[in-house]
Amino acid sequence: MYKYILALSLACSSCAFASSKIKQVELDNGVVVILPNIVRNDSPCTTQSWGLDMSQEQDHALYGLILTAVAMAKPVTIEGTQVCIGNGRYERISKVSIKD
């Protein structure tokens, strides 16, 4: 049991999280770029922005959720994959939650 909990905590420790309102959403060569309203110091990529690869079907749902949060002016929590897309500039998003 101890090894399972340790492995689980190590797996989640590599994930990057940010919680804020979204400052800007733009499209750059098939990658949706999300600029948070906060400064990120934990980005594994060359910018602080998050990204969604629109050639991937699962990223379409995340994009819709992000646009909903922007329209409602709600803060979101974003979890990254530690994988860079868009020529290494943006961290790919794995999970988005809208906050109240």
Q: Give the DSSP per-residue string, 6-45.
A: HHHHHHHHT--EEEE-EEEEEEETTEEEEEESS--S--SS
Stated pTM of the model? 0.77
The pLDDT value given to residue 16:
58
Model confidence at 4: pLDDT above 80: no
Could you tell me the fold of the domain covering 15-98?
A: OB fold (Dihydrolipoamide Acetyltransferase, E2P) (2.40.50)
Q: Where are the domains of the chain?
A: 15-98
pLDDT of residue 2: 44
The most distant pair of C-alpha atoms in the chain lies apart, rounded to whole Å, by 46
Question: What's the whole-number mean pLDDT along residues 5-33?
Answer: 71
